[in-house]
Amino acid sequence: MQVFLQTIIGGVSLGAVYALVALGFSLVYRTMGLVNFAHGNVVTVGAYLASTFYLTSKLPFALAMVIAIAVTGAIGLVIERVLRPLENRDFDLMLIGTIGFGIVLDALVIAIWGATGRAVPSPVQTEPIDLLGLRIRTYDLVVLAIAAAATVLLVLFLSRTKRGAAMQAVAMDHEAATAVGIHVGRSNAIAFMIGAGLAALAGGLVGPLLYVSPALGGALGIKGFAAAILGGFGSIPGAIVGGLAIGVLDSFTAGHFQGYSELVTFIVFTVIIMVRPTGVFGERTVNRA
Q: What is the CATH class of 2-118+133-275?
A: mainly alpha
173 has which bridge partners? 287
How far is 288 from 14, CA to CA, in rounded Å? 34
> pLDDT, tens digit, for every residue of 215-246?
998 889 999 999 999 888 888 899 999 999 99
Return all residues near 271 (Cβ < 8 A) that are at least 6 apart: none
Q: Write down how long the chain is.
A: 289
The residues of the chain scoring below 50 in pLDDT are 283-289
Residue of 37, 35, 38 lying closest to 46 (CA atoms): 38
Q: Where are the domains of the chain?
A: 2-118+133-275
Q: Residue 10's pLDDT is what?
A: 80
Predicted TM-score (pTM) of this structure: 0.90
Tell me if 217 sits within 8 A of 40, measured CB to CB: yes
Please report, as a single letter, which amino acid is at residue 85. Answer: P
Q: How does DSSP classify residue 101?
A: H
pLDDT reported for residue 201: 96
pLDDT attached to residue 155 = 92
